[in-house]
Amino acid sequence: MYYNCLVNIPQNTGKISRNKRGKTTYIEYIYAREYLPEKKYNVARRTTIGKDDPDHLGMMFPNPNFEKFFPDVEISAEGTAAEPVNESRSSCIRIGALLCSQKNHRRLQAG
């Protein structure tokens, strides 16, 4: 779940990476590196801390992992709003209801 406010993307050089999946860019934080002696290289241990906002350069929508790794950054309940988030239902449940209603709508139009 992503929070409904914007924060600055942290400026930790070498610790922040971007991972683009489709049209969305996720901001990842590298919290550890593990050396593999048999392969002779490091593997980064990372977690997603937010989703990039394409409308505001250098800003992102944080998630709960952001609070865990950056507790000193204040996350306001208000701010530049993204899509309103209903915290009582997961996104999987919401998409399921949407798909069912679309299927029923098509069925009623066809017959």
3-state secondary structure string, the chain?
CCCCCCEECCCCCCCEEEEEECCEEEEEEEEEEEEECCCCEEEEEEEEEEEECCCCCCEEEECHHHHHHCCCCCCCCCCCCCCCCCCCCCHHHHHHHHHHHHHHHHHHHHC
Q: Mean of the pLDDT values across residues 32-56? A: 94
The percent of residues in the chain predicted with pLDDT above 90, rounded, is 49
Tell me the whole-structure pTM to 2 decimals: 0.64
Contact 74, 82 (CB under 8 A): no
* pLDDT band (50, 70, 90) for residue 44: very high
